[in-house]
């Protein structure tokens, strides 16, 4: 039986990889403009890091993590999300000692969750994310949201809506939790199996359940915004004011809670047309207690993440043209005595910044010209017996027609002239 890619993973072939590289370039550029530096953390971490940060009762920890024991008897987990590793690195390397807070970080890379594979959701998936740690001002919340907004707009996405909520803090959330439990408990048997368990362990998760979240019962549940303390209410109001100043439209969703236990106050999602029921393209929130929970100083933070696979699906659905095939500027056609000149010519062209390639199958000149045309090359650079003897190259314009002879010594300068707009 032939080997196949493991279930829940995919091979990204060169044509598709160009689209990945295009969105990665945009993400890095937007982060650079906002002052976020890239951080790269290991693919696996101590299991306890995710249990403490994400939450023991979350689906991620209970059902979806790839956990293994190494030869030293340590429990390690392939990272299911990016915030906890970044916060761990922030603490371990004492980035909190910086005189310039917040520290702004961005990341991109693979994550791993054992769940049912579907379009845009794999067991190995990829995320872009940002984290800003060290400030509690709602102005920073607005900046993080504006970064996500700018990234999506730069990609040319449309029909994307920002939804916003506050999930309170340890001061006001217990009262809301009690009100929610009192409301839902008489209807326990109407809930799905997971939500019956959540009612005792983590009742806020009932609000974003994929099964119960849209039922009339949950739709009529108490709203957390009606139970916020003064500090959380003021923070939420200030954030909305900042977004309005920036001209970023938003919709408030009192049932938006996100799926990770570390969130406090601000939570947000960008949802898009074209992704079906799973329509979130970018999401995040504030996590003011997480740094302290993981052993660092009591510093607040906020961030977001987005799934690259789902983003690419949305770009394709909306007709975006990112990642087109790179323009092949020169195709070297060598035969006879000219074959020995092929690779040196290619290297000189490439080192000069020219996108150049050649045929390696040993075919004749006609077949190589056909290959150059198939590849969309602008110029064919022909080196045969005569050219090898005279130290020249025949440059054939495959778009406008015509050809001329150029010395090898002047080829690079000549190609720069030919390619000049």
**Best CATH choice for the domain 14-172+228-317 from the list 3.40.630.30, 3.40.109.10, 3.30.110.60, 3.30.930.10:** 3.30.930.10
* pLDDT one-digit tens code per residue, 155-192: 988 889 999 999 999 898 888 888 888 887 887 777 78
Q: CA 256 to CA 162: how far, in whole Å?
A: 12
| CA distances to 197, 348, 381, 388, 391 from 343, in Å | 66, 9, 12, 13, 15
Average pLDDT over residues 60-88: 93
Q: CA 30 to CA 143: how far, in whole Å?
A: 12
Instruction: State the chain's mean pLDDT as an integer.
Output: 89
C-alpha 7, offset from chain centre? 21
* pLDDT one-digit tens code per residue, 3-46: 999 999 999 998 889 999 999 999 999 999 999 999 999 999 99
Q: CA 35 to CA 207: how far, in whole Å?
A: 35
DSSP assignment string, 321-377? -TTPPPP--EEEEE-GGGGGGHHHHHHHHHHTT--EEE--S---HHHHHHHHHHTT-
Phi, psi of 115 (to 5 degrees): -145, 175
| CA distances to 168, 208, 223, 409 from 219, in Å | 19, 10, 9, 75
Contact criterion met (CB below 8 Å) for 257 and 284: no
Q: Tokens in use for 35?
A: 């002052």
Architecture of domain 330-419: 3-Layer(aba) Sandwich (3.40)
Q: Domain spans of the chain?
A: 14-172+228-317, 330-419
List the one residue out of 163, 145, 121 whose CA is nearest residue 311: 121
Q: Tokens in use for 50?
A: 């995710």
Residue 118 confidence (pLDDT) above 90: no
pTM (2 d.p.): 0.85
* pLDDT one-digit tens code per residue, 178-237: 888 888 788 777 778 777 777 777 777 777 766 666 677 777 888 888 889 999 999 999
């Amino acid at each position: 039986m032939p080997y196949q890619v493991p279930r829940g993973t995919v091979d990204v072939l060169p044509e598709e990889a160009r689209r990945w590289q295009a969105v990665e370039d945009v993400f890095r550029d937007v982060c650079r403009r906002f002052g976020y530096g890239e951080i790269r953390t290991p693919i696996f971490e101590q299991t306890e890091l995710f249990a403490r940060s994400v939450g023991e009762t979350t689906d991620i920890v209970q059902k979806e993590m790839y956990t293994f024991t190494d030869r030293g008897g340590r429990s390690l987990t392939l990272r299911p999300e990016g915030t906890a590793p970044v916060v761990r690195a922030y603490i371990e390397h004492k980035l909190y000692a910086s005189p310039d807070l917040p520290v702004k970080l961005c990341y991109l890379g693979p994550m791993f969750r054992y769940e049912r594979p579907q379009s845009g959701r794999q067991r190995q998936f990829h995320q872009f994310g940002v984290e800003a740690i060290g400030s509690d001002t709602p102005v920073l919340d607005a900046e993080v949201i504006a970064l996500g907004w700018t990234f999506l707009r730069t990609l040319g996405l449309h029909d994307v809506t920002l939804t916003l909520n506050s999930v309170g803090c340890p001061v006001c959330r217990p009262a809301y939790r009690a009100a929610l439990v009192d409301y839902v408990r008489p209807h326990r048997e109407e809930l799905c199996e997971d939500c019956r368990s959540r009612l005792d362990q983590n009742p806020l998760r009932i609000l974003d359940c994929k099964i119960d979240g849209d039922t009339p019962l949950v739709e009529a549940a108490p709203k957390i915004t009606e139970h916020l303390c003064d500090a959380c209410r003021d923070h939420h109001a200030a954030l909305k004011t900042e977004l309005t100043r920036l001209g970023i439209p938003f919709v408030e969703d009192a049932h938006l809670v996100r799926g990770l236990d570390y969130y406090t106050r601000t939570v947000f999602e960008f949802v898009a047309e074209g992704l079906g029921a799973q329509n979130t393209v970018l999401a995040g929130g504030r996590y003011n207690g997480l740094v302290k929970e993981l052993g660092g100083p009591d510093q607040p933070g906020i961030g977001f993440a987005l799934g690259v696979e789902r983003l690419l699906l949305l770009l394709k659905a909306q007709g975006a043209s990112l990642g087109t095939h790179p323009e092949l500027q020169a195709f070297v056609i060598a035969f006879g005595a000219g074959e020995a000149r092929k690779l040196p010519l290619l290297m000189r062209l490439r080192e000069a910044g020219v996108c150049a390639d050649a045929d390696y199958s040993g075919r004749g000149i006609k077949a190589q010209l056909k290959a150059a045309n198939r590849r969309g090359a602008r110029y064919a650079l022909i080196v045969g017996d005569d050219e090898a003897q005279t130290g020249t190259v025949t440059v054939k314009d495959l778009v406008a027609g015509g050809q001329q002879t150029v010395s090898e010594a002047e080829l690079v300068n000549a190609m720069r002239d030919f390619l000049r707009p």
